[in-house]
Amino acid sequence: MRKYSAAEQVSFDDVLLMPQYSDIQSRKDVNLTTIIGKGPRALRLSSPIIAAPMDTVCEWEMAVAIRKLGGLGVLHRYMPVEEQIRQVRMVKANTALAGASVGARGDYLKEATSLAQAGAGLILIDVANGHSQIAIDAVKNMRSLFGKDVHIMAGNVATWDGYARLADAGADSVRVGIGGGSACTTRVVSGHGIPTLASILDIREHFSYGDGPSIIADGGIRNSGDAAKALAAGAQAVMVGRILAGTAESPGDVVDGKKVFRGMASREAQEHGRGVVSGVEGISTTIDFVGSVDNIINDFSSGLSSALSYTGVDNLVDFHHEAVYNRVSSSTLNETKPHAKE
C-alpha cells in the first residue's frame, strides 16, 4: 500500500482507493471482524464501528443497539458517575461488553474503579489532547490500578510521537484525530490539527499493523467511504458521532423532525454537563431524524464490505496490506459526488 508522509497531509477527500482484481462472489462473503487490543484485554468486534462518547450520541440505548450490531458504544462522561454506573449495568444486562469514559483529573481513578466494578470492560480516558503529560500520567495510573484487567482506550493524538507515548504508558487502543469532527472547531480556534487520514499514515510509518495499541480513527469520518480509507490506512476501528446522532437510539427528543447534535467542547455541552464553560471548541446544531440505528449501521457495513470486495479481499487485515491509494484532483472529487440533475 502506498503511504504518504505526514508532510503531504492527505485528507479523506485527497485520495481514492484503487479497484483491483477480485474473486469475491458477494459482499456477504466479507468479514468485518476486528480485534482491538491484545492478549487478555483484546476485544473482538464483528463490526469496526464505535459510537463516540458524546451526550447527543451514546447513552445506554445506543450502546446496547451498537453492540448487538457488532460494534461498540462508549458511554459519555458528562453525567453523574452514579448515572454512568447505572447505564453500564443496563448495557451489561443486555450485552456482554460495556464501554465507559472518565476524564484525567479529580477522582477519575475512583470513578474508573466503580465503572469497572459495574461491568465496564473498556474505559476511555477522554481528553481533547492525549499528547499531554496529564493524559500520559492518567494512562500510567490506570494501568497500574487495573494491571492486566480492563481495556484502556486513550487519546486523542495526531502524531506518531503522541501515539508512542500513550503506548509506552500502557494504552490498549488510541483514538487518532485532532479537530476533524463535524461539531469540532479546534482547528479554527487554535490553528492546530492534522487530517485524520494523515495522522494514521504517520503512525503506520513508525508502527506496523499489529504493533502497538490499536488505532481508533476518530474525526472527519462522514460516510463508509471515509471509514474504508481509514481502515485501509491502518486503523482497527472507526469512531463516529454525527452519523449516529439522528437515530432513534441516540439521547434526546425528536422536535419537528430534528435532533440536537453538539460537540462536547461546545458551549451548550459544557453548560449542560459541567455547569461551567472553559474554552469553546465546538458547535451545537440540529440534524434530521433518520429512524433506527439498525438501518444506518447496516448501510454503513454494506459500504465497508463493498470496499473490501473492490480491493479483492475478504477481511480487514488483508485490506490494510493490499489497499492502494490514488491521489486525486479537485475535479475528480467533484466527479465522485452524485451529479445527476433532475
> Which residue ranges make up each domain of the chain?
6-335
- Is position 184 annotated as part of the catalytic site? yes
pLDDT in the model for residue 273:
65
Q: What is the mean pLDDT of residues 66-75?
A: 98
pLDDT at 284: 82
136-193 pLDDT, tens per residue? 999 999 999 999 999 999 989 999 999 999 999 999 999 999 977 777 777 788 888 8
The reported pLDDT for the residue numbered 279 is 73
Looking at residue 260, what is its pLDDT? 85
For the whole model, what pTM was predicted?
0.93
pLDDT of residue 16: 95
Among 32, 10, 18, 31, smallest CA distance to 322 is for 18
Average pLDDT, the chain: 91
* pLDDT above 90 coverage of the chain, percent: 77
What is residue 341's predicted lDDT score, i.e. its pLDDT?
A: 62
Q: What is the pLDDT of residue 6?
A: 47
Total residue count of the chain as it appears in this document: 342
* Cell triple for 222: 462522514
- 8 Å CB contact between 108 and 126: no
Q: Is the pLDDT of residue 321 over 50?
A: yes
Question: Which residues fall within 8 angstroms of residue 323, CB to CB, at 6 or more apart?
Answer: 1, 17, 18, 232, 311
Catalytic option among 10, 52, 166, 184: 184
Single-letter residue type at 308: L
pLDDT tens sequence across 76-131: 999 999 999 999 999 999 999 999 999 999 999 999 999 999 999 999 999 989 99
Q: What is the pLDDT of residue 176?
A: 97
Residue 7 pLDDT greater than 50, yes or no? no
Q: Is the pLDDT of residue 333 over 80?
A: no
Average pLDDT score over residue span 269-295: 80
Angle (CA) 227-231-237 rounded to 5° is: 80
Closest to 102 (Cα-Cα) out of 90, 91, 92, 116: 116
Highest mean pLDDT among 20-29, 173-182, 273-282: 20-29
Q: What is the pLDDT of residue 4?
A: 44
Cα gap 103→153, rounded to integer Å: 12
Query: What architecture does CATH give domain 6-335?
Result: Alpha-Beta Barrel (3.20)
> Which pLDDT does position 339 carry in this prediction?
63
pLDDT of residue 253: 92
